[in-house]
Structure 1
Amino acid sequence: MSDYPWLKKYEEGVPPTIDIAMRPLAQLLRDATQKYANQVALHMVLKYLPLGLAIQSRMTFRQLDQASDRFAAGLQKMGLAPGDRVSVMLPNLPQGVIAFFGILKAGGVVVNTNPIYTPRELKHQLQDSGAETIIMISGLYERLQQIRDETAIKNVIITDIPDTLGFPFKQLVAKQVRAGGLMKDVPTAAGVHRFTDLVNSTAPLAPVETAPDDVVLFQYTGGTTGLAKAAMLTNANLISNVAQIDTWFAHSEPGKEVMLASIPFFHVYGMTVAMLYGLEVGARLVIVPDPRNTTHILDIIQKEKVTLYPGIPTMYVAIINHPKVKEYDLHSVKACLSGGAALPVEVAQQFERLTGGRLVEGFGMTECA
């Protein structure tokens, strides 16, 4: 094995192979909660305000674990059976993380769904996956209705960006989101449920047994040679990925990291590196629903003292080229991982000079997760 040429490129201290303790993916959150119960797991920052205020929400590991338990119980009460597929069609929101682990705890299979899918793309994915339940923001409901009769969808769970905010920001953000068309009235109908109702469920959660080789995720990929196809990923696939990342980021400090979670969770890269690995090491996930506002990203890095930042080359280029980047203190950044496209060497070098951190280029395929 020592003759493999790629081993020469490994960071110092990274072994050629590792032993992996297998467990259900849902157990990852339970284990993290045992270690970091009262630490903040999810921290959504929508906007910074004067006087040190911010439009934001926080949730501890214990609160996340309990909320996903209640959501799982709500799904079971709705009729979800082990192996049933549930589409999660959300931008990066705390609700998406709750739903992800709630589906797993209920015995379901997560179907990550891009919220910018056209009706045609959405129809294909719902038909192909056989999903009978979908979770989405209200602004996407009309898109679903265009093709719903051609799918197996029975239950629609509606949430909105402001749902985890408190007064008065919840009302303020709701007004802004509604004006932007991302929040709309959804008619009361059979099979339409509010996310907040499920996450407040008082129904008991029935334990579900799951094996390492059980499929827990349909991750759609490709589409360049036709319609997107699902990679069927198991507990073992994803637990192995997290262990590999943890080995590579050997200098991470469990319980002390701050993960900038702006890369979409509906993509395998964002889900695995930002969400799963972040929770595994007890990081505070600073959730950004819209990563296109580079000024906001810079504000977050500086104000929240971000230490880990997985992204794509265009994100790093946007930071380097920001007209006021030198006015920010970005030296909290320790490690970044770039994926999704080739990373120019000069971009990595410039970003490392700005932050003092390490920017590593990664490669992976959804099918090999």
Structure 2
Amino acid sequence: MDVENIIGVEGKHLGEVKIEEINRVWLKHYDEWVRPSLEYPEIPLFRLLEDTARTKPENTAIVFFGKEIAYRELDALSNRLANYLKSLGIKKGDGVILAMPNIPQYVVSYYAVLKAGGIVVQANPIYTEREFKHIASNSEARVAIILDQIFDNVYPLKRDGLVDHIILAKVEDYLPFPLSFLYRFKKKKVKVPAETGIHEWKAALASEELKERPEVNPKEDIAVHQYTGGTTGFPKAAMLTHYNLVANVYQTIEWIPGKGEGDVFLGALPYFHVFGMTTSMNAPVAVGAPMILVPDPRDIKRVIQAIDKYRVSIFCGVPTLFNAILNYPDLKKYDLSSLKACISGAAPLPVELKRSFEKETGSKLIEGYGLSETSPVTHGNPFYGLNKEGSIGIPFPDTYALVIDEEGKVLPVGEIGELAIYGPQVMKGYYKMEEETRKTLVSGWLLTGDMAKMDEDGYFYIVDRKKDVIIAGGYNIYPREVEEVLYEHPAVLEAAVVGVPDKYRGETVKAFIVLRPEHRDKVTEKDIEQFCRQKLAAYKVPRIIEFVDELPKSAVGKVLRRVLRDQEVKKMEQS
């Protein structure tokens, strides 16, 4: 076949491309067990749990610091909470904010919200009051289920009428004795007012089990609002349907050696992150596998101990996590030989890290790719087939990927353009953002905003990002949001935020600031950092702050972030 016309639709506009015309050259590189096309059941997402609870009731679902919960019990707990949510007025289509680390209550709440007919509104528990208010207002959520330790940041939502109810989950509720007893003395004391609308987890779980189920149209009804970045400086909600999420679970399982049967999954990736939600929670639920929950993925000793003790075989993570394990001083004391399949996503995987991790553990570590808008996984390198280092791999079953130019025309092999994706996992759109949806979804194709190229084997490479998103430690950070906070400081005249290379986090946040004349020599980098910490989650706070006389700008006055980034890269190369 002519390399210039290898996929058969080169030169066509995206809107003219018919799926059946695309030559999926990548299929020849699938691992032998992976089918190019699957049948996806049109079922509500909560059926994954119900079906497993029916067929494998005694299988262990959750392991949390030694406490085990079987699938039968997990299903029953979610039924009770679903009934309680109904009693609080939750009806079909209502949003419920979940803001917890990976604790049993998160998994119970996730499926309970869906069984009550609600929409799971994902929130990072380290959000500030300002960030929680934006998500509550945008999603129109009426209930928040949160870790009690973050009550101070969430209570203003109820005080100001943004939500009607808050349910408090406590870590010690599912810790085995004596850990549960000891934890009460260790935890931060939180003052919770005794008022209507604030509920204890144990009281909520005292409810009867919900018997009826909501009527769900899987391809139309939204299961999850997954927040991602936007041009407004605030996150926007990708509307993921029940069908989107069920499909991506089946695609993910198909890709894994053994398809998850008999495996043990590590739940270290936060479940509020779309990558963790699908690959480390919904996928093991679908196959009836244990999830070993790790609330804080930065606790590397706990992560390594969990792999060793529970013989974890499937481990999905971000490059910084794999790197931290590799560099843990006492790594040799632990047995990680149970690891079979490790998938790295959310940030580029350094080639040297991949090689070193595989050599140290004997496992397969592959790089994949996905977005909040695609539920999330779209690409992956084969585990045993051709694995191209530096590549995000090849499209998943029933997933199509093309590279297009600025006019929307399909480019041939080797040329750089914007990556476009089509498949059953592509979102319905952005909630209450029709214009953004129209710009992002074109004839069913998702325009990713990432610049990429494809080689003659159908392997894709991300070469740059069209969007200015910063990916630090697997978290997406949006410069505009950080800049808006900086502009709130009375001493700041102008500000620009970029991502600069960082050996540990992949990228880190750097802020360039022009101070007002009257504040020069009076404001320090520490002052700016402390100001940001009051308004931003810790991972968004600039790690590097540089005061400058002026910012580079275009002829129309637009700040040129790319110039700043390029300057930083040159500095690092010269140092």
Q: Displacement, 1:332?
A: 0.3
- Counterpart mapping for 1:294-313 below 5 A: 294-313=300-319
d(CA) in 2 for partners of 1:202, 1:18: 38
d(CA) in 2 for partners of 1:134, 1:147: 9
1:247 to 248, 254, 276: 254
Aligned to 1:43: 63
CA change 1:329–1:168 in 2 (3 A) is closer
Q: Deviations over 1:52-72 (max 9, x none)?
A: xxxx32100000000000110
Q: Which amino acid aligns with 1:202?
A: E
Q: Displacement, 1:346?
A: 1.5
Q: Displacement, 1:174?
A: 1.7
Contact 1:257 1:282 in 2 (8 A): no
Query: Please, what TM-score do these two structures have when normalized by structure 1?
Result: 0.92
Identity among equivalent positions (%) equals 38
d(CA) in 2 for partners of 1:100, 1:260: 18
2:164 to 136, 154, 157: 154
Q: Displacement, 1:94?
A: 0.3
Contact 2:52 2:71 in 1 (8 A): yes
Contact 1:80 1:106 in 2 (8 A): yes
- Counterpart mapping for 1:117-196 below 5 A: 117-177=127-187, 181=188, 184-196=190-202
- Counterpart mapping for 1:306-345 below 5 A: 306-345=312-351
Contact 1:218 1:230 in 2 (8 A): yes
d(CA) in 1 for partners of 2:87, 2:23: 55
1:22 aligns with 2:42: yes
Query: Please, what TM-score do these two structures have when normalized by structure 2?
Result: 0.60
d(CA) in 2 for partners of 1:232, 1:253: 27
Q: Which amino acid aligns with 1:62?
A: R
SS at match of 1:88: strand
Q: Displacement, 1:36?
A: 1.7
SS at match of 1:263: coil
Contact 1:138 1:160 in 2 (8 A): yes
Aligned to 1:48: none
CA change 1:147–1:87 in 2 (3 A) is closer
Aligned to 1:49: none
- How much is the aligned-residue C-alpha RMSD, in angstroms? 1.7
SS at match of 1:29: helix
Q: Displacement, 1:198?
A: 1.2
Q: Deviations over 1:38-64 (max 9, x none)?
A: 11101012xxxxxxxxxx321000000
CA change 1:317–1:142 in 2 (3 A) is same
SS at match of 1:188: coil
| Bigger Rg over Cα | 2
Contact 1:70 1:205 in 2 (8 A): no
1:218 to 220, 225, 240: 225
Contact 2:137 2:162 in 1 (8 A): yes
Q: Displacement, 1:115?
A: 0.4
SS at match of 1:237: helix
Contact 2:344 2:368 in 1 (8 A): yes
CA change 1:208–1:141 in 2 (3 A) is same
Contact 2:319 2:348 in 1 (8 A): yes
Contact 1:219 1:230 in 2 (8 A): yes
Structure with more contact order per residue of length (Cα contacts < 8 Å, sep ≥ 6): 1
2:74 to 57, 60, 64: 64
Contact 1:76 1:205 in 2 (8 A): no
Aligned to 1:3: 23
Q: Any runs of at least 4 consecutive aligned residues in structure 1 with deviations exceeding 6 A, and if so which? A: none
SS at match of 1:12: coil
d(CA) in 2 for partners of 1:224, 1:304: 43
d(CA) in 2 for partners of 1:68, 1:285: 16
Aligned to 2:83: 73
Q: Displacement, 1:171?
A: 1.6
- Counterpart mapping for 1:77-88 below 5 A: 77-88=87-98
Q: Displacement, 1:206?
A: 3.2
1:99 aligns with 2:119: no
d(CA) in 1 for partners of 2:260, 2:145: 34
CA change 1:253–1:267 in 2 (3 A) is closer
Aligned to 2:245: 238
More helix by share: 1
d(CA) in 1 for partners of 2:326, 2:176: 35
Residues paired across the two proteins, number: 354
Unaligned runs of 5+ in 2: 1-19, 376-575
Q: Deviations over 1:197-216 (max 9, x none)?
A: 11121265432111112111
